[in-house]
């Protein structure tokens, strides 16, 4: 397919995601501008968003917490500090939902297997803790396609195979992958209380439109008009169903032009005086260490958000070393800094100083909601910030849990425990002496809990008995090292009293 999506004299051709576009607007957007009616959308499901494992998004005790990670951006040998940062923030904050806001992986994987490994490495911190999660898609997620043959649609299928994933399916005729509106249920009667919008902001601009290239302009993608129409339509139908607007947060990978306007306090202004004006007017906090990188066109999404009045904030990634947050005419615009240690950061020895994630504490009070947000940094948890690469062996994929040539002997430090207790699981790789290298993953009732490297063929791991556990728990240790053919496992049973 040519990258010239609208040659001179051609009113319609094929653009991003293979959809008909008019001037790059998208099929539904073109129809809307022409006065036609967009394709009828499916009825809004106003029940709470619920995982395959039966866990739903719901306020508890008037609280709901979201963590935003983004730009984990690595191959199948993910930097171990990326996973450590995610795990430490999650374990300290105890979120109800986690979003990886685009650029989950990079162009490094060379096969479907390596793509799955790269994705699996960074979703297991949530999946193993039974925390609902979802992703948005960024510009780099499909970069490995020429080598791996894996596109976003196949990645989405893989994500949706996990028990705690909440990504919606692709919507027929709508630009982008897994544009999704999630509903959080009230803890006070169960009605819809808050929303989470996940928007695909695309990948890269086409090479040309109407015979003109983009030299001098940003060359990333933009939210298309049909996606803006979908948001407005979905928002309106929810309001009609509920008799009120349902407020929420919106996550997409690539920044809006309004992020840049807010920082500088104007459209064409620059310099310290302009930045001071922006900070003062919009109450900006946090760092800006690189230019915002939106696409060449303003999508109109922010105007639609102002019109609808139900999005409290738009949060992005993409620009790894920005962490700021401000209030732009009633809508908070912000960044979470890049989480991944395997991609670019600040210069020199400061490369990894801003690695982290953004936390949202949402409060429900008598039918109203409010929220606060802060960034948590890897440095708070003593994680090594050295400006180097520290790749780890990939976690075992769910389908790799089988049997190999060597064995895994599993012993529990005690045969029974109470909910909330910590129990040491001791594992020994048999049939390989002290020569087994690699790692093991502990599963509790089929859910991966933690991974640890072997030392002389042995590994001791500590698990926490789930609060809702009763009867017996199945403990499985899977070995994925150089002595295993496929995966090798051993099991034990823990009584819960």
The per-residue DSSP string of 363-425 comes to: EEETTEEEEEEEEEEGGGGT----SS--B-PPPPPGGG-S--SSEEEEEESSSEE-TT-EEEE
Binned at pLDDT 50, 70 and 90, residue 428 comes out as: confident
Mean pLDDT of the chain: 86
Contact 168, 156 (CB under 8 A): no
260 membership: H or E segment, kind and range: helix 257-264
The arithmetic mean of pLDDT across residues 240-253, rounded, is 97
What would the two tokens of residue 385 be?
Answer: 């910030």
Binned at pLDDT 50, 70 and 90, residue 479 comes out as: confident
Q: pLDDT at residue 491 above 90?
A: no
The sheet carrying 458-464 orders its strands as 407-412, 422-430, 458-464
Taking the C-alpha atoms of residue 250 and residue 312, their distance in angstroms, rounded to an integer, is: 8
Domains and CATH numbers, the chain: 46-381 (3.60.21.10), 400-496 (2.60.40.10)
Q: Is 50 helix (H, G, I), strand (E, B) or coil?
A: strand
More confident residue, 4 or 192: 192
Q: How many CA atoms lie within 13 A of 411 on its CB side?
A: 8
Q: Is 332 helix (H, G, I), strand (E, B) or coil?
A: strand
Q: What is the pLDDT of residues 63-102, one digit of tens each?
A: 999 999 999 999 999 999 999 999 999 999 999 999 999 9
Q: What is the pLDDT of residues 176-194, one digit of tens each?
A: 999 999 999 999 888 999 9
Binned at pLDDT 50, 70 and 90, residue 39 comes out as: very low
Taking the C-alpha atoms of residue 77 and residue 439, their distance in angstroms, rounded to an integer, is: 13
Binned at pLDDT 50, 70 and 90, residue 454 comes out as: confident
């Amino acid at each position: 397919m040519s990258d010239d999506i609208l040659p001179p004299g051609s009113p319609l051709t094929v653009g991003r995601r293979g959809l008909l576009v008019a001037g790059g607007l998208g099929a539904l957007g073109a129809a809307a501008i022409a006065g036609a009616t967009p394709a009828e959308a499916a009825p809004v499901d106003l029940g709470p968003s619920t995982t395959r494992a039966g866990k739903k998004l719901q306020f508890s005790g008037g609280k709901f917490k979201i963590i935003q990670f983004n730009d984990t951006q690595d191959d199948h040998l993910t930097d171990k500090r990326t996973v450590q940062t995610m795990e430490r923030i999650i374990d300290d904050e105890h979120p109800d939902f986690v979003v990886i806001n685009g650029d989950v992986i990079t162009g490094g994987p060379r096969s479907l297997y390596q793509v799955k490994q790269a994705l699996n490495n960074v979703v297991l911190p949530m999946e193993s803790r039974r925390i609902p999660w979802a992703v948005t898609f960024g510009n780099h997620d499909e970069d490995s396609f020429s080598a791996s043959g894996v596109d976003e649609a196949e990645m989405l299928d893989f994500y949706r195979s996990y028990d705690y994933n909440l990504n919606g399916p692709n919507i027929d005729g709508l630009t982008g992958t897994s544009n999704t509106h999630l509903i959080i249920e009230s803890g006070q009667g169960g009605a819809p209380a808050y929303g989470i919008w996940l928007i695909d902001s695309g990948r890269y601009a086409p090479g040309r439109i109407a015979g003109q290239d983009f030299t001098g302009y940003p060359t990333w993608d933009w939210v298309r008009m049909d996606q803006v129409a979908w948001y407005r339509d979905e928002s309106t139908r929810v309001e009609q169903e509920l008799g009120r607007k349902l407020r929420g947060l919106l996550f997409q990978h690539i920044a809006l032009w309004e992020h840049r306007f807010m920082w500088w306090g104007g459209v064409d202004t620059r310099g310290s005086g302009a930045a001071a004006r922006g900070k003062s007017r919009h109450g900006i906090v946090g760092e800006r260490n690189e230019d915002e990188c939106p696409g060449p066109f303003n999508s109109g999404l922010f105007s639609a958000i102002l019109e609808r009045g139900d999005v409290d904030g738009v949060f992005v990634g993409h620009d790894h070393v920005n962490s700021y947050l401000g209030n732009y005419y009633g809508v908070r615009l912000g960044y979470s800094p890049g989480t991944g240690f395997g991609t670019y950061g600040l210069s020199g020895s400061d490369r990894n100083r801003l690695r982290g994630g953004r936390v949202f504490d949402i409060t429900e009070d008598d039918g109203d909601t409010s929220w606060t947000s802060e960034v948590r940094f890897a440095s708070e948890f003593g994680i090594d910030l050295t400006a180097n690469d520290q790749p780890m062996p990939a976690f075992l994929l769910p389908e790799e849990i089988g049997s190999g040539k060597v064995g895994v002997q599993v012993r529990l430090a005690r045969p029974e425990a109470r909910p909330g207790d910590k129990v040491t699981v001791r594992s020994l790789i048999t049939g390989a002496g002290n020569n087994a290298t690699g790692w093991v993953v502990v599963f509790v009732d089929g859910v991966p809990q933690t991974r640890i490297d072997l030392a002389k063929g042995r590994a001791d791991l500590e698990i926490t008995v789930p609060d809702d556990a009763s009867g017996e728990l199945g403990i499985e240790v899977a070995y994925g090292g150089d002595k295993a053919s496929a995966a090798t496992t051993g099991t034990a049973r823990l009584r819960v009293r």
